[in-house]
Amino acid sequence: MNYAIKDASDVQLLRRNADGTKTPVLFSDYANSTTLEFTSDRVFATAKGVNKVAFDNNKSGTFALEMQVFELKWLSILLGADENSGATKEIAKREVLAVADNKVTLKTAPKAGTVAVFKVDVDNRSHLEEVTPGSVTGLDLDLTAAALANDTKVVVYYLTEQANSKSFIITDSNFADNYGIYGDTMLTSEMGVDQFIQFRLPNCRPQGNFSVSFSASDVATISATFDILSDEHGDMCEFTYIQ
């Protein structure tokens, strides 16, 4: 029976642990494309310049996903960073506000010593002159030192502490872990009958190169490429067909 495929694989990603077990990390059923590729080197023994015997070696493989909808956890996985949840982190804020009675009211409480204020031009971006910030009471920032007229536009920069945040840090010494991958997809026969197929990559590792473009005109695409390694048994990939 002949089959065709028009389906991106659903992917289970499992982290390989030092004790040989695997821990499920995430499940993806949203990739636009998944690509499985194997290559090897070949040299020939020749007779009178004609290839007669082939020798194959250095088999290697990659598994790639392209996603426009994705879990944020993919970023820390691909960059080899540990994701931290529930921590309190500093967040940079910028607010354009109109002065009333020599004060402005901020949306969040600023961290002490981090406030900077400028009179702003009509474009709400260009700085005209720096304004000396005063004390903060609650969310109210005092500007009496500058004695600004009501409705004067100012831009306020400050840091605020945000609780219950998620974060990860990319360092120069941490790299991605090794993972196992299960990929599920459907084959369709010439008779219109669907058949399930699953492939297993027992040992693979994300490539170290990573890029993402933040564009106002195009949807960002995340590309995740894993190098397929052989496991302790020499296996690289297994396909299972469910009849």
pLDDT tens track for 184-195: 999 988 888 888
Q: Would you state the pLDDT for residue 86?
A: 75
Q: How confident is the model at residue 163 (pLDDT cuts 50, 70, 90)?
A: confident
User: Tokens for 41?
Assistant: 């080197």
Position 124 scores a pLDDT of 95
Q: Nearest Cα to 11, choosing from 184, 178, 179?
A: 184
CB within 8 Å of 225: residues ≥ 6 apart: 62, 63, 64, 65, 206, 207, 209
- Confidence at 27, pLDDT banded by 50, 70, 90: very high
| Most confidently predicted of 85-99, 117-131, 188-202, 207-221 | 117-131
170 — pLDDT class (breaks 50, 70, 90)? confident
Q: Can you name the residues that pair with 11 across neighbouring β-strands?
A: 28, 183
pTM of the complete model: 0.82
* Per-chain mean pLDDT for the chain: 93
